[in-house]
Structure 1
Amino acid sequence: MDVMNPYRERLLPPLSVFIACALLVPATLLVFLPINSTVGVVMAVVFYAAAIVLLVLTSPVLTIDDEGFTAGRARLYAHEIGEAEGFTGADATRERGPRLDARAWTLFRGWVRPVVKISLTDLDDPAPYWLVSTRRPDEVVRRLEALRRRTPGR
């Protein structure tokens, strides 16, 4: 991995979620049109735009750089990262469900099925591992392993 080429992934919802938000338009119109048609149209546009902005701004970002791994607002420094393993399909569902340790730190998004499981080297950390949704589990694992190999003291 190279300083000039950090990994970055925003866990945005799929297009279908943005389209479903369009249902706010007729719902808002139903409420406001009897009061005032201009206010109804303006409020419908404002509510739809606010929903879209909220979905984008609250979508967590995953980054891997020379210092470590960030998932949303949480950070693992390079020396804290243990082995990483990616899961897809039924294996990912089992990792998020029956095999999930209640002490694990998680960042899931329902619209992103694959996950990466990252063990931690800090024995004082109460979480045994992190489990994070990602659309590219193989890429995340590859980059985390490259970061681990480059970290001094391993």
Structure 2
Amino acid sequence: MQPSATPYEERLTAPLSWWLISFLVGLSMALIMLPFGTLALLGGLVGGTAVAAVAASSYGAIRIRVVNGSLIAGEAKIPVTALGEAEVLDREEARAWRTHKADTRAFLLLRAYIPTALRVEVVDPADPTPYLYLSTREPERLAEALRAAKAACAA
């Protein structure tokens, strides 16, 4: 199996507003600690901000990659030969596929702060998963990387 011709990697980082919220959580902790003195206030500010920032960072640490003939999306690793057609979903279609069109057997790598997505059919008869729903900021580029990886595996 050859490596994919068009390597792809994307990290689904949390939006900038989440980092502001992390600071506001720290500020709230500082206000809670205010009656206990200046040192406790600073500890609350630093500790609250740090804990909230770690939570935002870990939620945004999910990566989507196409490497060596496999799609790696979060914890899932699927060979591209088990994947069918990829459908680019705009904002409205993505919302529909994560709500009323969703199949409970589908694999969803969902980040609500990313409005676009890619829906990829799973054609492996042994796999009960009908499709993958992948939140991505660059669905066209991911679809192209999957097509290139499938072509490289077929060659």
Same-fold call, TM > 0.5?
A: yes
Relative to the length of structure 1, the TM-score reads 0.90
The two structures, once aligned, show a CA RMSD in angstroms of: 2.0
Counterpart of 1:148, as a letter, is K
1 or 2 for the larger relative contact order (CA 8 Å, sep ≥6)? 2
Matched residues, number: 153
* TM-score between both structures, scaled by the size of structure 2: 0.89
Cα deviation digits, residues 88-111 of structure 1 (max 9, x gap): 121111111121112111110110
User: Is 1:48 paired with 2:27?
Assistant: no
Q: Paired residue for 2:69?
A: 67
Partner in structure 2 of residue 106 of structure 1? 108
Q: 1:26 Cα deviation (Å)?
A: 2.5
1:144 paired residue number: 146
Give the corresponding residue for 1:28. 29
Q: Secondary structure at the match of 1:48?
A: helix
Unaligned runs of 5+ in 1: none
Alpha-carbon displacement from aligned partner over 1:75-96 (angstroms, at most 9, x marks no partner):
1112212111110121111111
Partner of 2:94: 92
Distance 1:5-1:48 versus aligned 2 partners, 3 A rule: farther
Residue 10 of structure 2 contacts residue 63 of structure 2 at CA under 8 Å; is this kept in 1? Answer: yes
Structure 1 stretches of 4+ with a deviation exceeding 4 A read 1-5
| Alignment correspondent of 1:13 | 14
Extract unaligned runs of 5+ from structure 2: none
| Identity, % of aligned positions | 27
Tell me the alpha carbon deviations over residues 98-154 of structure 1, each in whole angstroms, 9 at most, x when there is no partner.
21112111110110111111111211111111101000000000110111122238x
Residue 58 of structure 1 aligns with an amino acid whose one-letter code is: Y
- 2: distance between equivalents of 1:10 and 1:17? 16
**1:51 to 1:127, Cα distance in 2 relative to 1, 3 A:** same
